[in-house]
Structure 1
């Protein structure tokens, strides 16, 4: 049995979980999320505990078991605590700012790059170089952070660009100068 799939999910007191036939709806202080379940898994609630079980031991059922347990656990955690991704901007003249709800990036292009947040996502900027993407849906927060990073990914020679906090960029050696006399 899946080690991840058999772990129970504890529901915090502020969160409501509604189970329909093949749909899970989670409401909390941060927002509301819903997800359709495949026929391979079922979710049952016993008080404050959610358990995900699979239909049989076929390969696809085993795969979906751990996946949907994690997805439901992320839904519960998202509407209660929320998620955030941190990005660091490195490079001379590279900076970010929040204008209204939008994120404005100056990344060395001839124009500013403006990114509008999707529903349920907020931007914050610290010291003009640290961007915080936060929200209650882990998938949307991660995709938005990846979209921001794709504006100027870190390059391997000088390390300039936008990177995730804690990301290690492998550096390459540049050209070597002319050597020796003739």
Structure 2
């Protein structure tokens, strides 16, 4: 049995949760989220709490209801507080520009990279080398940050590239003569 799955998810004031079969809809001050889960987990809303339990006693249901509970908790936190990731771009001549919903990245290639910002995610810039990816869906924010980072991950010799703030990049020693 999952220790995480057993814990109920508290519903803060100002948040509405509706369960329709395996679909959970969460609405709060920052927006609305909806997710359809596998039939292995069942959801019950009572006393300002969401309780998740396995739908049956199969091994798959026991392994999935903890994950479903974590996703529902992230949905509730997202509509109340939101999520964000900070990115920094390091390197001579490296930078970014935001033009509407298109992020133009200069990452040392012969051409610029245009990244179209997905729906539900906002990117703000502080200068040309600091980005803030934010939104209410934890998965979408993380995916957008990872997609931007994937264009030029920080390399180990000079540290040039895109990294998430706080991420440790293992540095290597250069050539020794």
Are 2:150 and 1:150 equivalent residues in the alignment?
yes
User: Gaps spanning 5+ residues in structure 2: where?
Assistant: none
Report what 1:102 is aligned to: 102
Report what 2:68 is aligned to: 68
Report what 1:119 is aligned to: 119
Report what 1:55 is aligned to: 55
Does the 8 Å contact 1:123/1:131 carry over to 2?
yes
Does the 8 Å contact 1:102/1:123 carry over to 2?
no
What's the CA shift for 1:30? 2.0
| Distance in 2 between residues matched to 1:155 and 1:33, nearest whole Å | 36
| Distance in 2 between residues matched to 1:30 and 1:119, nearest whole Å | 15
Are 2:16 and 1:16 equivalent residues in the alignment?
yes
Report what 2:141 is aligned to: 141
Report what 1:160 is aligned to: 160
Deviations 1:33-92 (A, max 9, x none): 111122221111113111111134432122111100001111111112111111111111
**Helix, strand or coil at the partner of 2:4:** coil
> Which TM-score applies when normalising by structure 1?
0.91
Does the 8 Å contact 1:15/1:28 carry over to 2?
yes
Report what 1:169 is aligned to: 169
Q: Hey, which bits of structure 1, 4+ residues long, moved more than 6 A? A: none
Does the 8 Å contact 1:74/1:138 carry over to 2?
yes
| Distance in 2 between residues matched to 1:33 and 1:54, nearest whole Å | 22
Report what 2:37 is aligned to: 37
Report what 2:26 is aligned to: 26
| Distance in 2 between residues matched to 1:76 and 1:68, nearest whole Å | 12
Provide the aligned C-alpha RMSD in A: 1.3
Farther off after superposition, 148-157 or 90-99: 90-99
Please tell me whether Structure 1 or Structure 2 has the larger radius of gyration of its CA atoms: 1
What's the CA shift for 1:105? 1.3
Deviations 1:110-143 (A, max 9, x none): 2221211111100011132111100111111111
User: Gaps spanning 5+ residues in structure 1: where?
Assistant: 178-182
| Distance in 2 between residues matched to 1:8 and 1:47, nearest whole Å | 10
